[in-house]
Structure 1
C-alpha cells in the first residue's frame, strides 16, 4: 500500500513515489511501441520488467493493450514530454554545454540512449537505491552509457549539491539541468530551494528545463484527487495496488516559470495542450486535472542574478 508523503520518507521503484517513475517508464514503453518517429526509449520496457510490478510489466511489454488500462492521452503526453527533454539536452550540448544534470532521474535512460557529443558528462541524482537498481539493471542488459555518466545517490531534500560536487560537478562550467516530472512531488518550500540551488550552481550560459503547473483554482485539487483515485482503482483491478493521490503534495506554491524568471532565467514556455495539437495527438477531453495548462519551460541564464 502506498503511504501518504511525509518529511524524510524514502522509496524504491516499486513503492510510494517511486512507482510513479516506473509508471512513467511504462508509458514511455507504450509510446515507443506506438510510434518511434516522435520519441523512442528502447530501455523503458526492459527496465519496467526489471522492477517487477506485474501490471506495469504487462503494459510496458505489450502483453496487454493500453485500452482500458491507461488513457491514450497519457501515452501521448509521454511522447511529447520525452521529445521535449530529449530536444532540450541535444540542443544544449549541441550549443557547446558539456555538463548535464538529471534531477530525480528514476528510470531515465538518456545517459544510455542519446547521441551525446564526445566529452559530455551526465550526472544523475536520485535515491541511492533507485540509482543502484537502474545501474545494475542496465548493466545486466549489456547497455553502456553514451556519455561520461556519473551518479549521486542522494535525496533531493538533503545536501544534494555536496553529493553532486563529490561526483565531479563543476559549478564554474555551464550546465544543462532537467527537473522532469519532479516539482509536484516536492513540498512547496523544497521546490523553491531546489530552483534556488540550481540557479546558485549555474554558470552564465547554463540552461534549465522543467514543468510549470498553474496554481489550483477552487475545487481543482478535489477534482484532481477524484481523478487520481479513479485511475488508482483501475490499476488495482489489474493487480497493482496504486494510490496516486497520496504521493503528491497539494496546496498553493510558487509557479515554477515566474519563479525562475525572477531568479534571472530567460524562458520559453509551451503548454501540453499546444504541444499535443502541434503533433496531431489526442486532446485531453474534459481535462479535469488541468493537464493541458501545464507548461513545459526551458531557457538559459545569461548572467548571475545574485551577488
Structure 2
C-alpha cells in the first residue's frame, strides 16, 4: 500500500490512497497514545480501523515499531493534538452547543468516544470512501455513537455547506467547528474559501478550533523542512510530502477569522499545550529552528 501521489484538481481518495491514507497513520498514533499510562487521549476504536485496513506499516507504527522514518512515530504530537480538540468539543457541548461539525473527519471517532450530552449531533464531512470505511468498521463491531451522528460524504472543495444543511444542520443555531489536520492539504485559495463558507453558515455564538500554521518566509522554510522529513519515508510505503501544499502566500487563519467577525483567542503553541497537560519535553514535528517560532499553532475563536 503506497500513500504518496501528487495532488491534482479534482483528485479523490479512499482509506488506502492519497490523503485518505494519512488517516491510518493518525489512527496508529492515537492507538499508541491510548496504550500509554499517561495517555493524553483515549481512542478504543483506532485499532479496529487498523485491523480492518490490513496495512502492516500502520500496525507497526501503533506498536511502536516503525522503521519507515515517520516523524509522528517519534513524537506524541497526535496525542497532544487529539486532546486539544477533544477538550474543545466537550467544552462547547457542555456549554450548550448541540451541533459539532468535523471537517475532514478521517477516522476520528469523537461521536462514539466522547461523553456528549443527549441532543448533540456530530456532523462528519469527508470523502465518501473514507466515511464508508469508518461506518462499516464501526457497524461490524456494534459501536454506536454516544449522541447523534450524521455522516456527510462530500469533497470539501465542492459545495459542502449545501450537503451539510441537507443532512440536518441548522445554520441559525450555534455550532462548534473542528479544523484538525486539514489545512496542509488545501492550497491557499481553498483555505480561504473554506473559512469563508464556515463563516457564512455560522450563527452568533458559534465556535471554531483550528490547527493552523505560521505564515511568512521563515514559516514556509520550516514547513519545507518538515515536508522533507516526512519525505524520508518515501519508498517505504508512506510518502506524505507530495500531498501537502507549502504556499508562501497562505493567509493566517487568525487574521481570516477576525476579518470575518470572529473573536480570536490567543493561539496556543504545542509547547504550551504540553506544559498545560503535564507532559514534559515532548518532541514535536512542525517546529522551526531552535529558538524560532513554532510552525504549528492551535487557535480558537467565537462568532460575534
Match of 1:262 in 2: 259
Q: Please say if residues 93 and 116 of structure 2, whose CA atoms lie closer than 8 Å, have aligned partners that are also in contact.
A: yes
Task: List per-residue Cα deviations over 1:20-52 (Å, max 9, x = no partner).
Answer: 111111111111111355211111111122122
Match of 1:250 in 2: 246
What's the TM-score once normalised by structure 1's chain length? 0.89
Match of 1:228 in 2: 230
- Give the Cα–Cα distance (whole angstroms) in 2 for the partners of residues 81 and 112 of structure 1: 18
Q: Which moved more, 1:150-159 or 1:46-55?
A: 46-55
Q: Please say if residues 120 and 147 of structure 2, whose CA atoms lie closer than 8 Å, have aligned partners that are also in contact.
A: yes
Q: Report how far residue 68 of structure 1 moved.
A: 7.5
Task: Show structure 2 runs of 5+ residues with no match.
Answer: none
Match of 1:190 in 2: 190
Match of 1:292 in 2: 294
Match of 1:27 in 2: 29
Q: Please say if residues 101 and 124 of structure 2, whose CA atoms lie closer than 8 Å, have aligned partners that are also in contact.
A: yes
- Give the Cα–Cα distance (whole angstroms) in 1 for the partners of residues 185 and 102 of structure 2: 16
- Give the Cα–Cα distance (whole angstroms) in 2 for the partners of residues 74 and 35 of structure 1: 17
Match of 1:272 in 2: 270
Q: Please say if residues 33 and 39 of structure 2, whose CA atoms lie closer than 8 Å, have aligned partners that are also in contact.
A: no
RMSD across aligned positions (CA): 2.2
- Give the Cα–Cα distance (whole angstroms) in 2 for the partners of residues 216 and 260 of structure 1: 18
Q: Which moved more, 1:243-252 or 1:152-161?
A: 243-252
Alignment CA distance shift 1:74-1:88 (3 Å): farther
In the alignment of these two chains, the number of paired residues is 294
Q: Please say if residues 123 and 152 of structure 2, whose CA atoms lie closer than 8 Å, have aligned partners that are also in contact.
A: yes
Match of 2:41 in 1: 39
Q: Which moved more, 1:72-81 or 1:34-43?
A: 72-81
